[in-house]
Amino acid sequence: MKKIIIFYWIFTGVFAAFMLMSGFFDAISAPQALQVFKDLELPAYLSPFLGIAKLLGAIAILVPGFPRIKEWAYAGLFFDLLGATYCSVASGHPVSQAAFMILPLAFLFISYALYHRKSRVAK
């Protein structure tokens, strides 16, 4: 049980840190974030909306309890990452550039699986 909790917090912490940093720059419409949106052929007005959604999702997976909110947060963060990957490929970037997204998606899936394993063992 203790190993599961330790691994859960490591993977969840790293994943949440990635999403918090990404979400912060999107939320404040930082020039680097707006350049990414421009490269993906997305409108700039989506940046603050997605940034705040990422911030709320990352906070939701870090806060203990609230299992239903946590499920929705994982789903929302998954769709955000999947959408970014799709937009990267659809806008003409090489697939190798979108391959980076495998890392945050892997952390998301591992965190999600460990969350459920931790919840099952705790009962």
Asked whether 80 and 54 are in contact (CB, 8 A), the reply is: yes
pLDDT at 95: 85
For residue 94, give Cα distances in angstroms to 37, 51, 62, 89, 122.
16, 25, 33, 6, 44
Distance CA 112, CA 38 (A): 31
Q: What's this model's pTM, rounded to 2 decimal places? A: 0.92
Asked whether 64 and 84 are in contact (CB, 8 A), the reply is: no
Asked whether 81 and 58 are in contact (CB, 8 A), the reply is: no
pLDDT at 122: 67
pLDDT at 1: 80
Quick one: CA dihedral 112, 95, 18, 75, positive or negative?
A: negative
- Secondary structure letter of residue 65 according to DSSP: S
Range of the domain at 52: 2-122
Taking only the tens of pLDDT, the chain with its 123 residues reads 889 999 999 999 999 999 999 999 999 999 999 999 999 999 999 999 999 999 999 999 999 989 999 999 999 999 999 999 999 999 988 888 888 899 999 999 999 999 999 888 766
